[in-house]
Structure 1
Amino acid sequence: MSTDTVRAEAADEAAERRREQRGWYFYDWACSVYSTSVLTVFLGPYLTAVAKHAADADGFVHPLGIPVRAGSFFAYAVSASVILSIVVMPMAGAAADRTGRKKPLLAAAAYLGAAATTGMFFLDGDRYLLGGLLLIVANASLAVSMVLYNSYLPQIAPPEERDAVSSRGWAFGYAAGSLVLVANLVLFTAHDSFGVSESTAVRICLASAGVWWGAFTLVPLKRLRERRSPSASAGTSAHGWRQLAATVRDMRRQPLTLSFLLAYLIYNDGIQTVISQASVYGSEELGLSQSTLITAVLLVQVLAVGGALGMGRLARTYGAKRTILGSLVAWTLTLGAGYFLPAGAPVWFFVLASCIGLVLGGSQALSRSLFSHLVPSGKEAEYFSAYEMSDRGMSWLGPLLFGLTFQLTGSYRDAIISLVVFFVIGFVLLARVPVRQAVRDAGNPVPEMI
């Protein structure tokens, strides 16, 4: 084979890889609108208001006969969605690796979540139970789809490209969130001009996120390629669980990978809780308007695009691990400052939002790419199932702690400051992980800078 032929084939392979990477970015573009518009901005305050409307004279609702303070219902619903997620995710990851058919599973999870989100249009009056159910289904579906989506990263990007590819994916997601939030802000602030009530405007914003999620999922489903393993065959859930058990046993022989997952489990719990509860804190404790909250989250989205790409560049110089550790220090300082924010002062809330935006995307993107180096070849979906379980598996604890702290103290300030512990402990645990040795133990080449 001539040198020209080899070069041509290499160029064709690189072009195909870039095309697949661009398709992969679009799932972040599709699903991140749910995380931004629904989970971060609208659903928390709106579902809390619906629950308060259904509450008794003492401010409690009674799902399944259990007395729950209306202000804590949203946080508890998030926790319930995480519990469902950690039951379903292992089956999806094991089935994907066993059958080699990730795309049908990705499509099923994505469209179930999109349908549940679109159904939030019907959340009005005192239908807080409907809102909780749809939230649980949508969150669990998103978690399963992210297992499958993330597992493509080691397959579509060589080691030296992964920090950049992962960061671009997050940047795509935050760019989509910014674009849709602008439209949401116009509709919400000018709802009278559009001839709809404020409640209807919120429900349209919620449902439109589901439509967006479903529509843009078509792009990755078209461009991503299936990679069937030699042992791939039609499996059953029982086979999936047996394969997962084998993966768990295999991961026990990778103690450094498990050490990273433990650190990630803890600090990401803090990140996820801040994302899901920040709007409740802003509206209930600081007395900020919905328009102010939307503007603040829009600011987070815009800055997160640059933050994700910027931290990706920092990782080239300092390595992903050191860059993540720096972001955890920033998270700790930001939450500490958040405790002292004065009520009714949107400018200081915008400053806090700016700090969050600069570290949010990068800390998540680099965690994803760093973990991809710790995954043995051929076990991507199962290991990313464990990763997503670390993402979600203890993420019930943050909202639960947040909700319990408010229920016991009646103060959202106490609830928000309690989350600092996740970043401090996560920092200590991550600092102790020798990532180069972890990559070698997984049988992968060690990048020059990690």
Structure 2
Amino acid sequence: MGVDIAVEAAEPRDGADRRREQRGWYWYDWANSVYSTTVLTVFLGPYLTSVAKAAADAEGFVHPLGIPVRAGSFYAYSVSASLLLSVLVMPLAAALADRSGRKKPLLGGCAYVGAAATTGMFFLDGDRYLLGGALLIVANVSFVISMMVYNSYLPQIAGPEERDAVSSRGWAFGYVAGALVLVADLVLYAGHASFGLSQESAIRICLASAGLWWAVFTVVPLRRLRDRLPVRSAASPAPPLGSSLRQLRETLRDLRRHPLTLSFLLAYLVYNDGVQTVITQASVFGSEELGLDQTTLIVAVLLVQALAAAGAVLMGRLARRHGAKRTILGSLVAWTAVIVAGYFLPAREPVWFFCLAVAIGLVLGGSQALSRSLYSHLIPRGKEAEYFAAYEISDRGVSWLGPLVFGVAYQVTGSYRDAIISLAAFFLIGFVLLSRVPVRRAAAAAGNRVPDLI
């Protein structure tokens, strides 16, 4: 006999309870965005690279598991390994969360494992590059899975007419938290001597504090969000995991019945991989190739944080005039120009690096926001949660190829300029793939009303 499963309270509740849950949901973006900015974007890349170089042999290689790896590539390979592992774990975690309804324990477990690993980076010193790589992998896998669970709450806490606003407020909370903590990091790092700290100690404190911030503010969403438990038929003893795997196979089969939607996901997978790699590797490029100090890198990231929200608003206005697809295609041209400009940046010239940060900020938020809104037109009604789970896997879980290409390019050439220019391929291929997706026909094939501009 089949399994009869219905999710309790599939629609968001009305009034004060719904708004209270939404406000709790915002705070997880506030909690985890500091890991993304302080750890991944600013400090860990250059610092772990320096630790790996301290452990390197005379030829500049380290040997994790007996494999010769150029020390300058170790961080990129570690990021790539963490995202590849996420690909293997996330489908099971997503399916189990959907079918069991027990999202909050999974969110809390991933958040606190990730926060503990990040806090443990305080002990990353000397030549402990293997410790740094292991902590990065644990923290990043936990971060990716927790973000998948976090995003899956959106259809449950907000009605269709308010999801854009609720989602945007979450992004805003994250940008504000990242900027505030980076200002504090800048004060500590720039004035480390006045605090009686070495430069390395200041960096380790900044890394660990991101983990503590993540742990402390995760309490708020865990107190306010609630699980929607499935109601299982008494006649069905099927285990949740078996149901989850069957549901995952059903989603993949359904995606194949909508090949135009799948084509968009493929294009998004490619160009988003380029975006994520620029975010995680820019600090390594700035410090190792351009010879910029950590203070300059922090200021550059602050510029990106401040301008990302403004860029999203600007590109949203462009989309109202030209359509989301054309605007995204324009942003991919801009991303390619950013990569080419980065290749030619002069060393030890912070002003030009700041100009590059301004350009990245203006296209970053808009390209991500419009990609999500365009995808929403291509989803069959009644399957929003399933299809956004696939989108999240494309967004977070398949972003391992870019860091791998970056690391291999540096390993082969020994030049971070060659490594950064290799990322242009992701934006160019993504542009070609997206330009070939007939989004109006895709929206109609999904059974949706086609807007005048899309």
TM-score (norm 1): 0.90
Q: Which residue of 2 aligns with 1:306?
A: 310
Q: Which residue of 1 aligns with 2:437?
A: 433
Structure 1 residues 223, 317: closer, same or farther in 2, change over 3 A? farther
Distance across 2 between alignment mates of 1:139 and 1:414: 26
Distance across 1 between alignment mates of 2:222 and 2:370: 24
1:386 Cα offset (Å): 2.1
For 1:322-401, list aligned pairs within 5 A.
322-376=326-380, 379-401=383-405
Q: Which of 290, 310, 315 pairs up with 1:286?
A: 290
Structure 1 residues 364, 395: closer, same or farther in 2, change over 3 A? same
2:141 is equivalent to residue 137 of structure 1: no
In 1, are the aligned partners of 2:99 and 2:240 still within 8 Å (CA)? Answer: no
Distance across 2 between alignment mates of 1:313 and 1:229: 41
2:83 is equivalent to residue 79 of structure 1: no
For 1:228-243, list aligned pairs within 5 A.
228-229=229-230, 235-243=239-247
In 1, are the aligned partners of 2:114 and 2:211 still within 8 Å (CA)? Answer: yes
Q: Which residue of 1 aligns with 2:189?
A: 188
Structure 1 residues 394, 99: closer, same or farther in 2, change over 3 A? closer
In 1, are the aligned partners of 2:87 and 2:398 still within 8 Å (CA)? Answer: no
For 1:18-167, list aligned pairs within 5 A.
18-167=19-168
Q: Which residue of 2 aligns with 1:9?
A: none
SS in 2 for 1:217: helix
In 1, are the aligned partners of 2:100 and 2:240 still within 8 Å (CA)? Answer: no
1:260 Cα offset (Å): 1.4
2:420 is equivalent to residue 416 of structure 1: yes
Distance across 2 between alignment mates of 1:77 and 1:109: 19
In 2, are the aligned partners of 1:163 and 1:312 still within 8 Å (CA)? Answer: no
Distance across 2 between alignment mates of 1:65 and 1:302: 43
Cα displacement string for residues 229-278 of structure 1 (whole angstroms, at most 9, x for unaligned residues): 55599944343223212221121112122111101100000000000100
Structure 1 residues 122, 336: closer, same or farther in 2, change over 3 A? same
2:261 is equivalent to residue 252 of structure 1: no
Distance across 1 between alignment mates of 2:118 and 2:452: 43
Cα displacement string for residues 384-421 of structure 1 (whole angstroms, at most 9, x for unaligned residues): 33222212343211111111111111111111111111
In 2, are the aligned partners of 1:77 and 1:132 still within 8 Å (CA)? Answer: yes
Q: Which residue of 2 aligns with 1:3?
A: none
Distance across 1 between alignment mates of 2:370 and 2:45: 28
2:325 is equivalent to residue 321 of structure 1: yes
In 2, are the aligned partners of 1:151 and 1:380 still within 8 Å (CA)? Answer: no
Cα displacement string for residues 292-345 of structure 1 (whole angstroms, at most 9, x for unaligned residues): 111111111111132234434544554433332222221111111111100010
The one-letter amino acid paired with 1:45 is P
Cα displacement string for residues 88-118 of structure 1 (whole angstroms, at most 9, x for unaligned residues): 1001110111112222211111111111111
In 1, are the aligned partners of 2:155 and 2:385 still within 8 Å (CA)? Answer: no
In 2, are the aligned partners of 1:31 and 1:213 still within 8 Å (CA)? Answer: yes
Distance across 2 between alignment mates of 1:234 and 1:382: 21
1:23 Cα offset (Å): 3.0
Distance across 1 between alignment mates of 2:187 and 2:30: 21
1:153 Cα offset (Å): 2.9
1:42 Cα offset (Å): 0.3
The one-letter amino acid paired with 2:220 is V
Distance across 2 between alignment mates of 1:385 and 1:300: 27
SS in 1 for 2:338: helix
1:80 Cα offset (Å): 0.5
Distance across 2 between alignment mates of 1:220 and 1:104: 11
In 2, are the aligned partners of 1:163 and 1:315 still within 8 Å (CA)? Answer: no
In 2, are the aligned partners of 1:167 and 1:361 still within 8 Å (CA)? Answer: no
Q: Which residue of 2 aligns with 1:223?
A: 224
SS in 2 for 1:226: coil
Q: Which residue of 2 aligns with 1:8?
A: none
Structure 1 residues 289, 75: closer, same or farther in 2, change over 3 A? same
Number of aligned pairs? 439
**Bigger CA drift: 17-26 or 292-301?**
17-26
Structure 1 residues 58, 273: closer, same or farther in 2, change over 3 A? same
Distance across 2 between alignment mates of 1:99 and 1:365: 30
In 1, are the aligned partners of 2:322 and 2:453 still within 8 Å (CA)? Answer: yes
1:425 Cα offset (Å): 1.4
For 1:253-268, list aligned pairs within 5 A.
253-268=257-272
Structure 2: unaligned runs, 5 residues or longer: 1-12
SS in 2 for 1:301: helix
The Cα RMSD (Å) is: 2.4
Distance across 1 between alignment mates of 2:115 and 2:172: 21
Structure 1 residues 416, 327: closer, same or farther in 2, change over 3 A? same
**Bigger CA drift: 345-354 or 226-235?**
226-235
The one-letter amino acid paired with 1:13 is D
Distance across 1 between alignment mates of 2:332 and 2:140: 25
The one-letter amino acid paired with 1:28 is D
SS in 1 for 2:14: helix
The one-letter amino acid paired with 1:345 is E
1:380 Cα offset (Å): 4.9
Distance across 2 between alignment mates of 1:440 and 1:103: 36
